[in-house]
A = this chain, B = another copy of it.
Amino acid sequence: MSNMIKNAINREIPKYIEGIGELKAFGGAFAYNPEGKKAATKIPKTFTGKNKIIENIKTSLELCGIKNGMTISFHHHFRNGDYLVNMVVEEIDKMGIRDITLAASSLQSIHAPLIDYIKKGVITGIQTSGIRGKLGEVVSREKILDKPIIIRSHGGRPRAIESGETKIDIAFIAAPAADAYGNVNGVEGPTACGAMGYAMTDAEYADKVVVVTDYLVPYPACPISITQTLVDYVVVVDEIGNPKGIVSDATRITKNPMELLIAQKASEAIITSGLIREGFSFQAGSGGASLGVAHFLRQKMRQEGITGSFAAGGITGYLVDMLEEGLFKSLLDVQCFDLKAIESIKNNPNHMEMSASFYANPHNKGCVANQLDIMVLSATEIDLDFNVNVITGSNGIVMGASGGHSDTAAGSKLSIVVAPLLRGRLPIVVDEATNVITPGETIDAVITERGIAVNPKRKDLLDLFKDAKLGVMSIYDLKEIAEKLVGKPRKIETTDEIVGLIEYRDGTIIDTIRRAK
């Protein structure tokens, strides 16, 4: 395999892949220096004030000049309630177009119909933060795509678009509300989703931009999240999404005693770090224990009268409650997870929308992730170097998403992983993670119900946690405890075939996903 080299975390990476090109190997979280200029779009000209409404998606594809080999983009604010990806791909297939690359900010179970379009050759490339459901399973087990899928973080995606690495020919914007001249917001209409952060860079850099809405509002839309200056066409359809799939109920604090215990331990560790002070900032990823941490920190903030500056990321009603209680001064929001968050971003000026680039792109003049004090992360696996997997299960199947995991881990002052030591009979701490999304050098500690392991490079933290008797042990100890309980996990069997490339946020390749047997 002379085409392969080892990257900075000892993963074997191809130097070149047909249909994708030369690859850069990951060289360390802060090592890569970008060169050159951002991509530039064509200079348009528009003198007409007439509306931009056209008949249907098919017409929009025709007017945008769809042809074989193009890249089309989508955003995932509708999550598992999204109808648009399937609608557009169906039309493309009907037109006989093939060899399309799908650049989605994420894909969900609802997008399983894409499997058939991949098999037909309509879709030949996928770039996404994650894939859930049947589609994830099929692309992991069967080599149905000639090119590997590319997994990007939420900050890495706008970076790739801005740099021109991902050149979007047509961006489709699923718009909860839009006016006839193309101004869009996410806070009105039957499929209100709140923030539109992932769609913004697409609209800025795509050659053609099509807004699809089921809720046409009088000109001008108000507020405006994506402006008319970027939009070519507006298509009105009956339904762009299922509101039930858009909002999630998973924003209540976990009642699982194990998760509560982990959350409590995590909050003790965070408090011990000394970062809970006036003006601190905070983000918690998804997952039961993560939100639990907010719950325990809230008590501390109340007791001591501490006000944080901001909470960031995908925003839940729980964080809205903390904003309204005055515990945070503001929220910076790239996507809303529930109705309370959607109502809040609509009505509360301190709840601010941000683009994915503003949120997490390492190649701008400073993203919000850089300003985070505390980041609470989840993990499906963590290896002995603290490298974290959140994309594949231990069976090698793509079932999660890169999300903002690696971005916030790199940007925050303190990044801690919260996870149960075992999931079913599978240890979280492993010799070698199935895949790596986030390099260990950006992870400071892992908190389990059985103990806390601190990254050796954070000697300062280790001392603090030891002094506070937080149950510190080495990550090797954690692994041993787990293996004593359930035995050593069987190494999964994969083939040599590469079905996915995991890009680090800076565009280098941190890992490959091998076809699962």
Contacts and interface: CB of A to CB of B under 8 A. Distances in A.
Nearest to A30: B47
A364 B34 CA distance: 28
Nearest to A281: B219
A250 to B, nearest CB: 27
A143 interface: no
Contacts of A362: 45-47
A410 B349 contact: no
Contacts of A38: 40-43
A332 interface: yes
Interface in A169-187: 181-182
A301 B118 CA distance: 57
Nearest to A204: B204
A332 B366 contact: no
A231 B354 CA distance: 16
B42 A218 contact: no
A503 interface: no
Interface stretch (A14-22, A127-135, A221-229): A221-229
A352 B181 CA distance: 16
Interface in A21-60: 30, 32-49, 52
Q: How many copies does the complex hold?
A: 2
A77 B218 CA distance: 30
Interface in A305-363: 309-310, 329-330, 332, 349-350, 352, 354, 357-358, 361-363
A426 interface: no
A229 B358 contact: yes
Interface stretch (A236-244, A367-375, A490-498): A367-375
Contacts of A367: 46, 228-229
A162 interface: yes
A366 B49 contact: yes
Contacts of A332: 220
A390 interface: no
Contacts of A368: 220, 228
A365 interface: yes
A427 interface: no
A364 B230 contact: yes
Contact of A218 (B32, B209, B229, B329): B329
A118 B484 CA distance: 80
A232 interface: yes
Nearest to A347: B349
A358 B45 contact: no
B34 A209 contact: no
Contacts of A42: 36-38
A47 B410 contact: yes
A166 interface: no
Given A162-B43, A181-B371, A223 B365 contact: no
A37 B45 contact: no
Given A309-B218, A310-B220, A349-B223, A364 B46 contact: yes
A37 B41 CA distance: 5
Contacts of A121: none
Nearest to A162: B43
A229 B361 contact: yes
B219 A365 contact: no
Most B CB within 10 A of own CB, among A228, A329, A350, A362? A228
A389 interface: no
A329 B222 contact: yes
A148 to B, nearest CB: 25
B363 A228 contact: no
A163 interface: yes
A411 interface: yes
Given A43-B36, A181-B371, A222 B364 contact: no
Nearest to A506: B45
Contact of A45 (B45, B363, B372): B363
Contact of A40 (B39, B43, B223, B413): B39
Nearest to A49: B370
A81 B12 CA distance: 61
23 contacts: A34-B44, A36-B42, A37-B41, A38-B41, A40-B40, A43-B162, A44-B364, A46-B363, A48-B370, A181-B366, A181-B370, A220-B332, A222-B330, A222-B349, A222-B350, A223-B349, A228-B365, A228-B366, A228-B367, A229-B357, A229-B358, A229-B366, A231-B365
Given A46-B362, A47-B411, A48-B366, 12 more contacts: A39-B40, A46-B366, A181-B366, A219-B279, A219-B309, A219-B310, A222-B330, A222-B349, A229-B364, A229-B365, A229-B366, A232-B365
